[in-house]
């Protein structure tokens, strides 16, 4: 973890609600880092269900392969996370290391290995002898606690500059349930310290297929609507565990069950909060950028346009330079391949229209725009004049800090 904290970091790590049926521990193993915890063990109560969204990379790490293999079972009893070595591009030895790690954790917790989830981030292509971790796991097992959220949030970090957590409560029927989650991923998706992990836990009782549906639909507008440099990691992993150990409530039969309305909104809030914290920890980030696209052919088209704008180095450097450069926004929208009506397009920064109907707005008030660009949060809105599709994405600016971090990474 870097010592210089992102200027976009929250003021403090949030208060985390404990989640009945979840116990956590973080220990220092020395996978790569010294003087900090780097291995996390989570114990999950019997009956826990699980949902997951995993990287679409065609060259995923061995832990991702493992999670993908066991996810269809829908049950979970534990989680092991290693920080510092991604176990990616490690061949058969990497696969075996994951299986042995799961087996060791399963032995400790008295459960089946196929109910143990494993995630790793860090260096690619370096093989780590799994015994370095498994021999230490009993120490983690001995220190499991319902309150070690901050310890776990710290222990999963790699190049992040701050720990990321979010916690909410929601009602399902008359019962109040809890959702608490942690995340890592230092924004700029860095395959050497491979990327985004997030683990979210609730004490609600939700069948696995319903949980999966809830997670997918809430991941779309949150984790799947952020980008830092457009690179996709070999290790991206988002897991949602439901222990069913909280107050009793009606068990939902589908994600559309009205009893889940408040829970789904709270889950969205947790995922949104964590996703934005990941963007705010983008390497070199000085500004958080929100891009709202409206008037597109469909929501999907608006999302694709928003991501092209968000990934444009020219848009990101313009924001870094505090320049309301709407021409670069037009360029990015134009190259997205999605339908836009050039002569009906509009662009605004900080709510002030700068271009409208395909032309610059004559004599718009520059002062509030300039003030907006100097702030930490920059809002870019564009309407593309075609239909009713809308989407919002988030990114950060592209600064000298990014080049410094990534051009000197391994040296």
* Residue 335 in contact with a second copy, rule: CB under 8 A: yes
The least distance separating a second copy from the CB of residue 40, rounded to whole angstroms, comes to 23
Residue closer to a second copy by CB (options 200, 279) is: 279
Residue closer to a second copy by CB (options 73, 359) is: 359
Kindly state the tokens that stand for 249.
């409530």
Residue closer to a second copy by CB (options 148, 190) is: 190
Q: Among this protein's residues, is 237 annotated catalytic?
A: no
Sign of CA dihedral 394, 397, 398, 402: negative
User: Between 119 and 158, how does the x/- string for binding to a second copy read (CB under 8 A)?
Assistant: ----xxxx--------------------------------
Partner residues linked to 81 by β-bridges: 40, 119
The least distance separating a second copy from the CB of residue 154, rounded to whole angstroms, comes to 25
Sole window of 27-35, 87-95, 167-175, 246-254 interacting with a second copy (rule: CB under 8 A): 87-95
Residue 72 buriedness (CB in 10 A; 0-12 / 13-18 / 19+): exposed
Strands across the sheet containing 377-383:
359-360, 352-356, 346-349, 377-383, 288-296, 389-396
Sole window of 3-11, 137-145, 177-185, 397-405 interacting with a second copy (rule: CB under 8 A): 397-405
Mapped onto helix, strand or coil, the DSSP state of residue 48 is: coil
Cα–Cα distances in Å, from 158 out to 121, 303, 368?
7, 29, 38
Out of 232, 237, 245, 294, name the contact with a second copy by CB under 8 A: 232
Q: What is the Cβ-side half-sphere exposure of residue 266, based on CA atoms within 13 angstroms?
A: 21
Of the candidates 40, 55, 101, 195, the residue annotated as catalytic is 195
- Of the candidates 136, 142, 117, the one whose C-alpha atom is nearest the C-alpha of residue 65 is 117
Mapped onto helix, strand or coil, the DSSP state of residue 410 is: coil
Mapped onto helix, strand or coil, the DSSP state of residue 297 is: coil
The least distance separating a second copy from the CB of residue 119, rounded to whole angstroms, comes to 17
Kindly state the tokens that stand for 217.
């639909």
* Residue 297 in contact with a second copy, rule: CB under 8 A: no
- Of the candidates 165, 89, 75, the one whose C-alpha atom is nearest the C-alpha of residue 124 is 89
Out of 38, 192, 281, 381, name the contact with a second copy by CB under 8 A: 192
Out of 209, 334, 379, 390, name the contact with a second copy by CB under 8 A: 334
Q: Which helix (H) or strand (E) holds 290?
A: strand 288-296
User: Between 45 and 64, how does the x/- string for binding to a second copy read (CB under 8 A)?
Assistant: -----------xxxxx----
Residue closer to a second copy by CB (options 255, 355) is: 355
* Residue 363 in contact with a second copy, rule: CB under 8 A: no
Sole window of 160-168, 238-246, 274-282, 392-400 interacting with a second copy (rule: CB under 8 A): 392-400
Out of 345, 352, 369, 393, name the contact with a second copy by CB under 8 A: 345
Strands 359-360 and 352-356: antiparallel
Q: Spell out the residues 6+ positions from residue 96 whose beta carbon is closer than 8 angstroms to its own.
A: 130
* Residue 230 in contact with a second copy, rule: CB under 8 A: yes
- Locate the DSSP E strands across 338-404: 346-349, 352-356, 359-360, 377-383, 389-396
Active centre residues (catalytic)? 195
**Residues making contact with a second copy (CB under 8 A):** 56-60, 88-91, 123-126, 188-192, 194, 229-234, 311-314, 317-318, 320-321, 323, 325-328, 330-340, 342-343, 345, 355, 357-360, 398-400, 402-404, 406-411
């Amino acid at each position: 973890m870097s010592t210089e904290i992102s200027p976009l970091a929250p003021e403090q790590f949030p208060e985390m609600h404990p989640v009945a049926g979840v116990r956590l521990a973080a220990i220092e193993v020395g996978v790569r880092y010294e003087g900090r915890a780097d291995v996390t063990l989570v114990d999950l109560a019997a009956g826990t269900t699980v949902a997951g969204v995993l990287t679409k990379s065609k060259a995923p790490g061995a832990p991702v392969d493992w999670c993908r293999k066991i996810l269809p079972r829908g049950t979970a009893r534990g989680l092991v996370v290693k920080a510092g070595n991604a176990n990616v591009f490690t061949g058969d030895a990497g696969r075996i290391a994951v299986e042995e790690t799961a087996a060791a954790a399963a032995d400790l917790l008295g459960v089946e290995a196929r109910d143990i989830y494993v995630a790793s981030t860090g260096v690619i292509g370096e093989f780590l002898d799994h015994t370095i971790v498994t021999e230490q796991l009993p120490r983690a097992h001995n220190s499991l606690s319902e309150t070690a959220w901050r310890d776990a949030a710290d222990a999963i970090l790699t190049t992040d500059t701050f720990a990321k957590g979010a916690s909410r409560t929601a009602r399902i029927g008359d019962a109040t349930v809890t959702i608490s989650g942690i995340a890592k991923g230092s924004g700029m998706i860095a395959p050497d310290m491979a990327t985004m992990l997030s683990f979210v836990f609730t004490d609600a009782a939700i069948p696995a297929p319903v949980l999966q549906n809830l997670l997918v639909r809430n991941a779309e507008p949150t984790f799947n609507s952020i980008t830092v440099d457009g690179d996709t990691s070999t290790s991206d992993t988002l897991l949602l565990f439901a222990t069913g150990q909280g107050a009793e409530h009606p068990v939902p039969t589908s994600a559309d069950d009205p009893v889940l309305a408040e829970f789904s909104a709270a889950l969205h809030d947790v995922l949104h909060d964590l996703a934005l914290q990941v963007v705010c920890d983008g390497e070199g980030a000085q500004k958080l950028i929100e891009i709202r696209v409206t008037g597109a052919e469909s929501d999907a088209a608006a999302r694709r346009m928003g991501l092209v704008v968000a990934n444009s180095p020219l848009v990101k450097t313009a924001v870094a330079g505090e320049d309301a450069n709407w021409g670069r926004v037009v360029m990015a929208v134009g190259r997205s391949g999605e339908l836009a009506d050039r002569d009906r397009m509009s662009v605004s920064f900080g709510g002030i229209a700068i271009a409208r109907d395909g032309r610059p707005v004559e004599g718009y008030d520059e002062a509030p725009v300039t003030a907006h660009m100097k702030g930490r949060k920059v809002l870019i809105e564009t309407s593309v004049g075609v239909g009713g599709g809308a989407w919002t994405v988030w990114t950060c600016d592209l600064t000298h800090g990014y080049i410094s971090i990534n051009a000197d990474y391994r040296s």
